[in-house]
Structure 1
Amino acid sequence: MNIHPIKAFSDNYIWIIEEGTEAVVVDPGEAGRVIDYLEEKQLHLNSILLTHNHDDHIGGVQEISAKYPGIAIYGPKETEHIADHIVHEGNSFNLLDQNFQVLKTGGHTHGHISFLTEGALFCGDALFSAGCGRVFTKDYRAQYSALQKFKRLNDEIQVYAAHEYTQTNLRFAHSVQPDNTVISEALTEVNDLRAKGHPTLPTTIGREKKINLFLQAEKLEDFKALRNARDEF
């Protein structure tokens, strides 16, 4: 299984999961670059996975599905206006010879979900490298619960988040813990990657346990204070 990033807008990643000549697209906020890539690589689009209903994650679905009629579109209930396979916590299904499990990871939106395979997590805006999504719902408990789910995953799981926020997240983490050498070294590494125009994703669950202050928060109150500080950073 090969996973390729398509850059979209200022900092989004649309992930293309490939197996042979088959492909699955995750959170296509725009269509043009996705269609161009599929045509260039001569890939057959199998289905689309949606983590939540924000426009920068679903904006390209109609154009893509018009180009590739009959494809399956999996998403949470909040995407029922555009998805034809509504999935919930605990559901699983097979695509490209891979089993995909559905995790409820609300907080950023009420119905946000993530998709977990044996070796990869597609977490939309629920988890970023060194950070997590804004809690637009104000349901901090739901977002904290999502982070605890991620924390229990195997360290080797590759994390495919939907935004390139790592550099800013690590700058924030460094401002909170300036003497944390692991975070300082990670920031130096990420600064170098971004200076060269390289993505900082995927990360891994194991790496995030070391550099992600939100995952490290031991109490809901600690997480909420940290999230509010990050919002103001």
Structure 2
Amino acid sequence: MLSIVKEFTVREVEKAFRVLISWCVRFLIVGGGRSGSIEEAYAKAAEAVTSGRITNTKELADEMKAFVPTDAEFEAEFCTAKVSQNYLARYYLRALELRLTNNPEPEWVPNETSVINLEHILPENPNGNWPHVEPETALALYKRIGNMVLLQATKNSLIGNSPFSAKRPVLKASAYNLTAEAAKPANWGPKEIGERQARLAKLAVTTWSLSVR
């Protein structure tokens, strides 16, 4: 990153940072055994930038193409991804929301934790309010991206472990499109979480695009 700042023009630095964010998200979601090869690829790319062999973002993207998850790989992994860190989940959902509303730079997102809370629709411990979902199933689905929505902090504190019938009108009234869309099903469980996450996965491909722009 330092070599990019030093060697690229201001415009190319802006484009490069946008691409780097997309790569980082794709690496985080796809994961696996790529870390060693990624670090080596980054080091070689940085050396190429410093030496002048790579002079712009398009050339940098071409250099890294073999190491960055493809659209198909990214979408497939996003379909079943779980997110343990709340700040990452908030970032993903906020960026996806911006992409849905055609924001030209959806990957640039402030993490407004005091205003925006993360709501898990199916709670980790569903108790008697969710009799149709087994505890083991809830535990497996709790951290799936498809089970998470953004809510205003005040609204989030009110619904807690409430049944979906109580959460639904709150979700529907949200100003966030992706949150309101989650209120469309009559029930909430494995099927609904999977379907929503598949939709988010398709949106993710264009949110964290590989195109240089």
TM-score by length of 2: 0.26
Counting strand residues as a fraction of each chain, which structure ranks higher? Answer: 1
Counting helix residues as a fraction of each chain, which structure ranks higher? Answer: 2
Larger radius of gyration: 2
The structure, 1 or 2, with the larger RCO (C-alpha pairs under 8 Å, 6+ apart) is 2
